[in-house]
Structure 1
Amino acid sequence: MKKYDAIIIGSGHNGLVTACYLAKNGYEVLVLERDTTIGGAVRTETMFESKENPNGFRMDVGSSVHIMIHQTGIIEHLELEKYGLEYIDMDPIMSYPVATGKGVIHFWKDVERTLESISKVAPEDVENYKEFIKFWGKINKGVLKAFMTKPAAGNIIGTMAKAQIKDGAMFRKGEQASGLQKILSSYGKVVDDAFDSPHMKAAILWFAAQSGPLPDHSATGDFAGWQSMLHESGAKHPRGGSGMLTQAMKNMIEAHGGEVRADHPIEKILIENNKAIGVKTESGEEFRADTIVSNAHVQTTMMKMVGREHLDDSMFKKVEDINVGNGFGMVIRCAVEELPDYTAAPGDPDIHNGIQLLAPSVQYMNNAIGDYTKKLPPEKPAVLAMTFSKIDPDVAKDGKHTLFAWAQWHPYELANGLKWDDIREREAQKIYDVVTEYAPNMKDKLIDWYIQSPADIEKKHGLLKGNVMHVEMSFDQMFMFRPIPEMSQYETPIKNLYLASASCHPGGGVFGAAGHNAAQVILKNNRKKLFSFS
């Protein structure tokens, strides 16, 4: 039986990042993916081919907007453009059309252009936004550095302290107390304190909500503050779809002698004398390696693939008790005849370039959250619309368009005996109705759609309870507490078994940091020279 240097379970982008770094350092790598296509939740599939649309539509079936990974250096380190990756800038990054009347706020990568746009709708917040970006930008320079290393308490504090000494990356003299208070505050309070205009409050709050926790959760202030980093990296979408990122990683791995195999679901991690030695697929195939890396959900990895028989009762209980949450969103992927023509900004040439924030007010979102806390789908969901065919004709080659609409807040577990299989189309229609309220021209423009309820997300991607961040992004499950303190270093109680998924520090999104950090640990443990991680 052939033996590999490393086996990576799952082809999500974090696992592929780990595989890329290991392959670059000379490891013979094997990636095993359970699905028939690779990419995990960074994947694009062709759908809705027809006589009228013979080329179909390129539909992302997971994440679409790539922001965080462009702040890490991973794309450049791995030279992914050599392997077919081409990014298209989304600029403006996002836009907020007002729900009633006229006006739209464009959030451009360029701060000055953003301030000019804000002045037309919310002039009272021009200076507020300028100060907000300046304040949080300094903080997040230090936070980003902490995200790119393993989360020991000393490392995080030390990294931030060094950044503060070097360039004042945390607080100016005299503002340390208020700065710390903002970090420990809820992002709902941070937004409410920072802005005066109801439009600005709604826009910033809705984008911050993409991290998962509710707006009143403590120590989430930086979910709003991360807005500052948009002006550093911007937002991008790969030409041809989100999955072109993971396809480029696959190409890079194969170019370095590695293998990436789809349709190989893992049943068990093989363990002897508390040491991981290989994996067994559901079909009975076995593969051996010196190092096993799981990119699957931490609970799936430890409770199913490892199993209770290899963990003491205390450790099993800690993994079992990780807070996965109760889902928080669903999405419809629509093929449409034309782009939305927003009543607030008719004929706007820029609004379709980036994210469109469709949330009329903070109270509107609070109403949706109220339904969610009762384990009911929202009567009126907040919607985040994306129209990538505007900037990338390759995703809709027959002259039509794509419209993705992510919405919140949608619980995985429902009250009153409701089942997602019974209500998914009804709830999808509610999401589409929000789009048509903002853009009435879309009422009869739907060609077809692909619905992903929280239950569908779990089934498609193995994301338990439909949580796209794997586990809750609450403060007690971040940094050295993610997923639990005993596994926060990307290592497990099983020797040679590592974790690399969004279950680990620093969490979800198209980031790659967890995979990058896991590779650092593996290479250090095996005394391999790290070619470049800075």
Structure 2
Amino acid sequence: MASAVSVVRTWPSACRFGTATRACHVAALRAQYDALVIGGGHNGLVAAAYLQKGGVNTAVLERRHVLGGAAVSEEIIPGFRFSRASYLLSLLRPHIYRDLELKKHGLKVFMRDPHAFTPMLEEGLGGQPPRSLLLGSDMEQNMREIGKFSEKDAKAYRAFNTYLEKLAEAIHPLLDSPPVDIPGVTQGPLRRRLAALKTLTPLIKTGLKLGKNIPELYELITAPITKILNRWFESEPLRATLATDGVIGAMTSPSNPGSGYVLLHHSIANSARAHGAAIFTEQEVEQVLVGPDGCAKGVLLKDGSEVHSRVVLSNATPHITFKKLTPQDSLSPEFMRAVSEIDYTSPVTKINVAVDRLPNFLAMPNAADGTPGPHHQCSIHLNCESVEVLEAAYREGKQGRPSARPMLEMCIPSVLDPTLAPPGCHVVSVFTQFTPYWLEGGRAWTDQDREQFANSVFDWIERYAPGFKGSIVGKEVLVPPDLERIFGLTGGNIFHGAMTLDQLYLARPLPSLSDYRTPIKGLYLCGSGSHPGGGVMGASGWNAAMMVLTDLRRG
């Protein structure tokens, strides 16, 4: 997900992060805690750390044998460690990194510079390699790279970055705070109204930062990304490279309204444990316990045992939280209908590949000694020669067919962290779009379908980097139903719900449910299905924890 917003991208050490997320049963699970967190994904762990730090005795209950949720690292092929469902750490909120002392607790972050590489499929001119686009923090070098395609775009790129960075900086207060408490401001006793007015502060800060640029932010979050990019640039490789950030992880095309926001939008367990939180794996929650007073009082585990608490935080998707974990008679039919309407459509298939040598791209051939080049550490955009290529891939996915020429975003984290693979070998993550949850005619994916799609992806990589297919020593193909089954991502959606305009800020996940509280007192959402949404940023966990601490103090 190469972004024009941040000039440097980061990469968590999957090996060290994975090691950090292996939970130890250092103490027995007790029958009573102040707070229980369902799910040991990154937001659940952030919430647990802040609650425990705030003096709330907290336990995390994770269904799988390992912590981390969709950001987990696992050795799925002997000797090769993969971040199975995610691969970049570009959105982690800086204050969380500092507050929880994540560096001290084992989170090693690798800075990627350059961060985006887009090779072309074309015949080289005068015997030269095909052209490519390499973007990083060096603006002068970026302009030279873009100038290979358009001198006009090269001159415009600096101003475009300034434009995006200004808007991104302005919305930071909104990411680190719950949405405005509309019911509190508009109804209820005066005391509540006065307290609710404080929730307007982040919105006011954003407005003051934006000033006369408020219309620009409004346009960016509502317009198709193509409208924005076409105004700034004329070269297709640059527009397509930047457009990928408007559609990554979303079943949308660059020409659909709202794709501009996704462009703008773009170790924890040890810290939680260090603050005293109890963390348990292989503890699957069967149901949230609701008392006669209608308040959450703990959870029922799959083994039949009960664990009681004052509050329960769910890091699961809203669908799982309310449709599977909450007693249905505790929620109104109207609310359940609204929950059923949340959009979880996903276009993503993640392919994890173990290779015995570096890919050798025609557009930037490998060094004779096999040393990785700057482009190997990037998000490598394949089939991104033009926006129309992305549009065509989207249209096929919407028709229930995996894209014949899929949009590919490829990363090789072992270039920066050699501990992830045996000497001379590498781990390759391929984020692919567009693949539907159900195939044409409502048919479920079969192993043959997975194999066929993976082969198609590898054929395309082979065209850019001949010899890639011969370097493969193992693979894992995770289509949307696999992402749902393994990681609890409803619909296979990596963001816990589509990041569309009708499911953001005051409407995430529902207009009636945006302050992390639920209709059941004492039950909260803390996952990416709540504001501000997906990405490995931890903001949902932080905001939810702050809300819980406030409520507990009030009694």
Q: TM-score, normalised by structure 2?
A: 0.85
1:205-253 deviation per Cα after TM superposition (whole angstroms, max 9, x unaligned): 12321151332332332333457xxxxxxxxxxxxxxxxxxxx322222
- Measured in 1, the distance between the counterparts of 2:299 and 2:217 equals 47
Is 1:9–1:293's contact at 8 Å kept on the other side of the alignment? Answer: yes
Residue in structure 1 matching 2:104, options 70, 82, 85: 82
Aligned equivalents of 1:214 and 1:363: distance in 2? 10
Q: CA deviation at 1:370?
A: 1.1
1:496-528 deviation line (CA, Å, top 9, x unaligned): 111000100111111111001001101111229
Report what 1:443 is aligned to: 469
4+ residue stretches of structure 1 with deviation over 4 A? 153-158, 175-179
Task: Determine the structure 2 residue equivalent to 1:432.
Answer: 458
Q: How does 1:38-437 map to 2 (within 5 A)?
A: 38-49=67-78, 56-69=79-92, 71-100=93-122, 101=124, 102-152=130-180, 158-165=201-208, 169-170=209-210, 172=212, 177=215, 180-212=218-250, 213-225=252-264, 248-272=267-291, 273-325=293-345, 327-347=346-366, 349-358=373-382, 359-421=384-446, 422-437=448-463
* 1:501 has 2:514 as partner: no
Q: CA deviation at 1:182?
A: 3.6
Contact 1:341 1:439 in 2 (8 A): yes
Q: Secondary structure at the match of 1:139?
A: helix
What does residue 544 of structure 2 align with? 518
Q: Which consecutive unaligned segments of at least 5 residues does structure 2 have?
A: 1-29, 125-129, 183-196, 368-372
The superposition leaves residues 254-302 of structure 1 with CA deviations (integer Å, 9 ceiling, x where unpaired) of 2222211111111100000211111111111211111100000111101
Q: What CA distance in whole angstroms lies between the structure 2 residues aligned with 1:384 and 1:191?
A: 20
2:45 pairs, out of 7, 10, 16, with 16
Over the matched positions of the two proteins, sequence identity in percent amounts to 29
Three-state SS of the structure 2 residue aligned to 1:293 is strand
Q: Output the CA distance in 1 between the equivalents of 2:498 and 2:221.
A: 18
Does structure 2 conserve the Cα–Cα contact (< 8 Å) formed by 1:298 and 1:499? yes
Q: Structure 1: give runs of 5+ residues left out of the alignment.
A: 50-55, 228-247, 529-534
Give the conservation status (yes or no) of the 8 Å contact 2:262–2:499. no
- 1:203 maps to amino acid: T
Give 2:22's aligned residue: none
Query: 1:363 Cα deviation (Å)?
Result: 1.4
- Hey, what's the Cα distance between the residues in 2 that align with 1:108 and 1:147? 25
List per-residue Cα deviations over 1:175-227 (Å, max 9, x = no partner).
65455334321113222222110110111112321151332332332333457
In structure 1, what is the Cα distance between the partners aligned to 2:53 and 2:548?
13
2:46·2:272 contact (CA, 8 Å) conserved in 1?
no
Alignment RMSD (CA, Å)? 2.0
Q: How far apart in 2 are the matches of 1:179 and 1:31?
A: 38
Tell me which residue corresponds to 2:15. Answer: none
Give the distance between the partners of 1:155 and 1:204, measured in 2 at CA. 37
| Aligned position for 2:8 | none
Contact 1:191 1:224 in 2 (8 A): no
Deviations 1:88-144 (A, max 9, x none): 111112211222242222221344443343234443211222121111211111212
Aligned residues of 1:469 and 1:503 also touching (Cα < 8 A):
yes
Does structure 2 conserve the Cα–Cα contact (< 8 Å) formed by 1:147 and 1:513?
Answer: yes
TM-score (norm 1): 0.88
For residues 47 and 207 of structure 1, the distance between their equivalents in structure 2, rounded to whole angstroms, comes to 28
**Aligned amino acid, residue 336 of structure 2:** F
After TM superposition, the structure 1 = structure 2 runs for residues 449-468 of structure 1, keeping only pairs within 5 Å, are 449-468=475-494
